[in-house]
Structure 1
Amino acid sequence: HLETIATAGRPFPMRLSGTGTFRPLSPVVFVQVVAGASACSWLQKRVRDASGPLVRELQFPYHPHVTVAHGISEEAMDRAYEELADYEAAWTCGSFALYEQGPDAVWRKLRDFPFG
């Protein structure tokens, strides 16, 4: 399923800028995706397509972002929000990856899926 999606995809420009938060609904601080969000949405729709094995109902609407703080103290989340407020990054996204969360709550990459 993921290999097929990757083959149909094409590299796209990504740009991150500044911070955002999902608080108070969810204890998350993130870096904002300001370019590449539509390509990320295209990708996630295909990954979760009803014809594939990864279909599931999302708890919240899909919102492309890069999580930098989750489930830590409010004070630490405030600090992350403030310290990364001027953060900027840009690159060409040429692949996506499959991760698995272990029993220790650490996410580990299992495989890369290059586009095209």
Structure 2
Amino acid sequence: MGTERYEHGTHEESARTLATSTQLSTGQMAGAIGEGRSFLGIVIPVEGEYARKVSATRAATGDPYAYIPPHITLMSGVPLPDPAEAIAHIRNVVSAFSPFPLRFAGTDTFYPVSPVTYLRVAEGERELTELHERLHSGPLDAKPAYPFVPHLTLAQEVAPERLAQVRREWEDVSFNMSAHSVTVHVGDGAGSWTQIEELAFSG
């Protein structure tokens, strides 16, 4: 979730409490969602040694969102119509997928459209795109404002020279991980996000 203005985009810009969000029980979801307008964010967490390195790199550049755990965004800021229907839809989509491998290799940037440098997804893009498309269907059939570009943010909202420096530093880095779950977050549109569920790929 980032300010990149791609589908990874606006969720990170507003997710100022995401780093400390917690998973809620089913009975607590209604309270988290509340009565006002709510929005959904769905991500695949990135964990392990390289996740720590990504976080360190973001912090070193002065990235204002460095505190947000590394992740790949699948859905960002989609209005939440009927909470029960939406959550059932997400569970149904996620349960049809099995864990799948991801490989990150090479860097790219959204600059000058948006000040973001990122690691490219070299393996797993097909599964990520299919997940993205299936999630954006049914009760969550909202057309994203920008193309879906699966990626792992390395730096954002920093000076162009810092973006270029990070891109050079990470250009030859590659690593693998297994995507085994998604986390679902609800936002209030004012910058507060709460994780309401973690769903495992169980297909």
The TM-score bracket by the shorter chain reads 0.7 to 0.9
- Match of residue 162 from structure 2: 76
Give 2:101's aligned residue: 13
TM-score by length of 2: 0.50
Q: Which amino acid aligns with 2:103?
A: R
The 5 A counterparts of 1:1-116 are 1-49=89-137, 51-52=138-139, 54-99=140-185, 109-116=195-202
Give 1:69's aligned amino acid.
A
Between 93-102 and 31-40, report the one with greater CA deviation: 93-102
Decide whether aligned partners of structure 1 residues 56 and 103 sit closer, same or farther in structure 2, where only a CA change above 3 A counts: closer
Q: Residue 99 of structure 1: CA displacement?
A: 3.7
Q: Secondary structure at the match of 1:59?
A: coil
Q: What letter is aligned with 1:4?
A: N
Q: Mind listing any 5+ residue stretches in structure 1 that lack a counterpart? A: none
User: What is the rounded CA distance, in whole Å, between the counterparts of 1:5 and 1:86 in structure 2?
Assistant: 34
Largest Rg, 1 or 2:
2
What is the percent sequence identity of the aligned residues? 26
| Partner SS for 1:72 | coil
Note the alpha carbon deviations across 1:13-43, whole angstroms, 9 max, x for none: 1100011111222221110000000000010
Q: Deviations over 1:59-102 (max 9, x none)?
A: 22111111121222112211211111122110221112224568
Q: Which runs of 5+ in 2 are unaligned?
A: 1-88
Q: Return the TM-score normalized by structure 1.
A: 0.83
CA–CA separation in structure 2 for the residues paired with 1:94 and 1:68: 22
1:56–1:113 CA distance, 2 compared to 1 (3 A)? same
Of Structure 1 and Structure 2, which has the larger fraction of its residues in strand?
A: 1
Displacement of 1:111: 2.7
- Partners of 2:192 and 2:175 in 1: how far apart? 24
Q: Which moved more, 1:28-37 or 1:80-89?
A: 80-89
SS of 1:43's partner is helix
Q: How many residues align?
A: 114
